[in-house]
Amino acid sequence: MKPPLFDYRAPTTIEEAIAALAGDDDAIVLAGGQSLLPAMNFRVAHPSLLVDIQHVAGLKGISIEGDEIVVKAMTRHRELELDEAVRRANPLIAEAMGHVAHIPIRNRGTVVCCDLVGATVTRQSIRRSHFPYFASVREALRRNGRIIPLVSAR
């Protein structure tokens, strides 16, 4: 199947991304696209506008800050899986990332936008909140008019 027609914007700042989302009630953030694009192809999701955040400055990277692991929104599964500092701080996170899909998907899929938002992450565990399939995080974030730039885990 083919997706419905939509407009596309690729902002380079968080302010531009927020402005694009604010101007359209049916806009959706595009991060990795591994869940969203198939949903669009099957006409489960039908945004009027995709706001592609892959070029927004400051949304990529992982850091360890004290006892927290900070994962920015555009961090790929594979980056989190292979990061040695993460492996030392919380081996469970690195181990879990190795079980997400297969390597090509982990190279493209983003962690924060799809997977960790809606989860409780500690150094010992990852506990998912319940979200209906496809409605999940995107609708919750859209309803609240937010782009979550990072999550931090202890």
Over residues 29-33, mean pLDDT: 83
Q: How far is residue 34's CA from residue 24's CA, in Å, rounded to a whole number?
A: 22
Q: Report whether pLDDT(80) > 60.
A: yes
Delimit the CATH 3.30.43.10 region(s) of the chain: 7-57
In one-letter notation, the amino acid at residue 33 is: G
In terms of DSSP bridges, do strands 62-65 and 27-30 run parallel, antiparallel, or are they unpaired? unpaired
What's the pLDDT band for 152 if we cut at 50, 70, 90? low
Over residues 80-94, mean pLDDT: 90
- Whether 149 contacts 59, CB under 8 Å: yes
Q: Report whether pLDDT(147) > 60.
A: no
Residue 83 has a pLDDT of 95
CATH class of 7-57: alpha beta
In one-letter notation, the amino acid at residue 125 is: S
The model carries a pTM of 0.68
